[in-house]
Amino acid sequence: MTTTKTALVTGASSGIGEATALKLISLGYTVYGAARRTDRLQQLAERGLRPLAMDVTDDDSMRNGVDRIVSETGRIDVLVNNAGYGSYGALEDVSQEEARRQFDVNVFGAVRLTQIVLPHMRARRSGTVVNITSMGGKIYTPLGGWYHGTKFALEALSDCLRMEVKPFGIDVVVIEPGGIRTEWSGIAADNLEKSSAAGAYTGQAKAVAASLRSETMARRMSPPTVIADAIGKAVTARRPRTRYATGFSARPLIGLRRFLPDRAFDTLISRSMGLPR
């Protein structure tokens, strides 16, 4: 058992998860980094990370991981639900199987892991649950319906959870990344082409895939460390903000969505992604 605070970060093998794990280690946390494949975590282990094999779609995997953390440290002070991916494709084209998998990973996995962790936080009457949503939980893009659906859902679930666990001294924080320099865009483009590269939505698919892979856009993206820094601020604050929107275009686009009429925002997004008229 330890008096050092303990954090669990899912999707820790790369990108935002990796940067967050390293940030929390630098802040003095004992950090468990979870991923389906722990071989990608070994280099991080040399920097103080404790690798943890976990699949957020497997209940036993999550229970075993949490049990191990509690048995080794006696506590879980921070849970960062970061595991997720982008499944793009026209709503008409994406299979129900893939749509369910998107929700299983991005929503149900995060919520189920939170359910398993919360009793340990309640017992200590303290803790912080950090849910990584996206500016895509406030805005929308064509061919991203299932992905945006998961992020909109996680935003709402986080708001409800924040009110429910407040009496137990537990904070719930939403992180809304903008454009971040990770593998996410390439994976989303690959999924898009599998679903909609041929058929009625070919023109839109080509434009959106090109936008996701654009080198110009990639150069504008923020490094994952900006998200890690926001998480670091949130978990060390006496009274953290409920939301942190950061990274390329996050605040401007969320602001525009709030004030622009729907069709005006449709036009803005369509032009920015080079959609055929």
Active site residues: 147, 151
Whole-angstrom Cα distance, residue 183 to residue 189? 10
Residue 176's beta-bridge partner residues?
245
Edge-to-edge strands of the sheet including 30-35? 50-53, 30-35, 6-10, 78-81, 127-132, 170-177, 243-246
Q: With the CA atoms of 226, 82, 69 and 65 taken in that order, what torsion angle do they form, in degrees rounded to the nearest 10?
A: -160
Residues 6+ apart with CB under 8 A from 209: 189, 192, 193, 197
Whole-angstrom Cα distance, residue 206 to residue 197? 7
Residues 6+ apart with CB under 8 A from 120: 66, 70, 75, 76, 127
CA 67 from centre of chain: 23
Phi-psi region for residue 268, left (φ > 0), alpha (ψ -120 to 50) or beta? alpha
